Structure 1
Amino acid sequence: MSEPKPEAIQFRNVEFLTSAPTLAECPPDEGAEVAFAGRSNAGKSSAINALTGSNKLARTSKTPGRTQLINFFRIRDNLRLVDLPGYGYAKVARSMKDEWQRHLAFYLEQRQCLRGLILLMDIRHPLKEFDLHMITWAATAGLPIHLLLTKADKLKQGPANNTRFAVEKALKEKGLNTGVTVQTFSSTKRTGLDKLERKLVDWLAPRETQAQRDS
């Protein structure tokens, strides 16, 4: 049997799989998955919908913190996208925020099928405190992380690129640039969508084909 090419991953065929209220209720830790994380209203759901070509797959809302479940989407076979709850929303008690942060750190560090993390940040407000916590957690776990500077359509191309350069420089100065890539993105204009797709294929395809080769 010939091995599937990376292009065989079709994000337009993604379908909802399940929602988990806790990490303990996630699907079995097998196959490969990429998680999307970000502050509330960073455009996470909009990015997932743009990627999959659906306006309804991931719930969007103007109310911060609407997504408070871990949502799993099936690409095919054992390939998944994961929508992690938005962090930093104001209407949740501090104790609940702290509890979720502990669970989130455990997920990033212990989930064996996790191939990479897409961290979304509003290009006008990048690298907030918890964004840096997420990047540090990923670095500790040796997990590749791709920063998506969303809502790039709110800025002209020059300022948008300058922000990307500034983010890359800041991460390098903090010693957090290893395994980290950065791009600008707009779900409205679909700017950078092809680059996001290539990153996901790069993370999901190689180990998938390796597993088939070894079986």
Structure 2
Amino acid sequence: MPHLLNATFYTSAHERWDLPKHSGIEIAFSGRSNAGKSSVINTLTNRNHLAFVSKTPGRTQLINFFQLASNQFLVDLPGYGYAKVPEHVRQHWKSLLSNYLQTRTSLRGLILVMDIRHPLKPHDIQMLDWFSSTGKVIHILLTKADKLSKMRANITLQKVALFLKEFYPQCSVQLFSSITNIGVDDAMTVITEWLRIN
């Protein structure tokens, strides 16, 4: 799995026509603002500042592409669900994200990041609905698992897994912590498998 450690910034897109054209594979990362998405990307790539970690929710407003190999990319999508973002900006993100998630042919799967203390919020469900319609795979990372006791974290994991089994059977889920490295190897295994050429 060392190729994840080769990640470098490739390009950013603010509009549909800015999206790069290539024949490779993309793995997208999405999540509510402040759920820890940038920290997840930095942890998985073993880079401190590859993805910008902001103390201000809603700061990331571009689709950022990071290249792993000649035809492999990680894609950092704008965080969603932050109330203080102006309405016109929110609508732009919504249009750009839904278009990307539903029509991007190079997109292999979605890593959906949720704070384990606040999983399955309405915007998370909307994201699941948007992407589920494509039939592509989704893997959920319940981040900040170190913030809960092991027992409480596992109870939350079981509840989310049962919900997904009933409503989104193509989804898988796991615990994750960028602080204690809980679940890092498991997440890397999932991503590496998705990146393989079938």
TM range (shorter): over 0.9
In structure 2, the partner of 1:201 is: 192
Aligned residue pairs total 198
**Residue 187 of structure 1: which of 166, 173, 178 is its match?**
178
Give the Cα–Cα distance (whole angstroms) in 2 for the partners of residues 11 and 110 of structure 1.
Answer: 25
Q: Secondary structure at the match of 1:141?
A: coil
The reply to whether residue 166 of structure 1 matches residue 155 of structure 2 is no
Q: Following TM superposition, by how much is the alpha carbon of 1:30 offset from its aligned partner in structure 2, in angstroms?
A: 2.1
Q: TM-score, normalised by structure 2?
A: 0.96
Task: Determine the C-alpha separation between the residues in 2 that align with 1:96 and 1:10.
Answer: 35
Q: 1:52 — aligned with what?
A: 45
| 8 Å CA contact retained: 2:22, 2:71 | no
Identify the residue that residue 90 of structure 1 maps to in structure 2. 83
- Equivalent residue letter for 2:154: N
SS in 2 for 1:10: helix
Offset of residue 91 of structure 1:
2.4
- Distance (whole Å) between structure 2 residues aligned to residue 97 and residue 78 of structure 1: 31
Query: In structure 1, how many angstroms separate the alpha carbons of the residues matched to 2:63 and 2:91?
Result: 16
| Residue segments in structure 1 that go unaligned for 5+ positions in a row | 1-6, 211-215
Q: Name which of structure 1's ranges 84-93 and 64-73 shifts more when overlaid on structure 2.
A: 84-93
SS in 1 for 2:133: helix
- The match for 1:37 is 30
1:66 paired to 2:59: yes
Instruction: Indicate the larger mover: 17-26 or 38-47.
Output: 17-26
In structure 2, how many angstroms separate the alpha carbons of the residues matched to 1:43 and 1:14?
Answer: 19
In structure 1, the residue matched to 2:68 is 75
Q: Secondary structure of the residue that 1:42 maps to in structure 2?
A: coil
Ranges of 4+ aligned residues in structure 1 off by more than 3 Å: none
For 1:98 and 1:29, locate their aligned partners in 2 and report how far apart those are by CA, in whole Å. 27
Secondary structure, in 3 states, of the residue corresponding to 2:56?
coil
Alpha-carbon distance in 1 for matches of 2:164, 2:90: 25
SS at match of 1:72: strand
Q: TM-score, with normalisation over the residues of structure 1?
A: 0.88
Structure 2 letter corresponding to 1:180: C
How high is the sequence identity, in percent, across the aligned residues? 51
CA-CA distance at 1:29 after TM superposition: 4.5
What is the rounded CA distance, in whole Å, between the counterparts of 1:111 and 1:29 in structure 2? 11
Partner residue in 2 for 1:15: 8
Deviation, 1:61, is: 1.1
**Stretch deviating more after TM superposition (21-30 or 78-87):** 21-30
* Paired amino acid for 1:151: K
SS at match of 2:182: coil
Instruction: Measure, in 1, the Cα distance between the counterparts of 2:107 and 2:79.
Output: 18
CA contact (8 A) 2:5 2:46 kept: yes
The match for 2:93 is 100
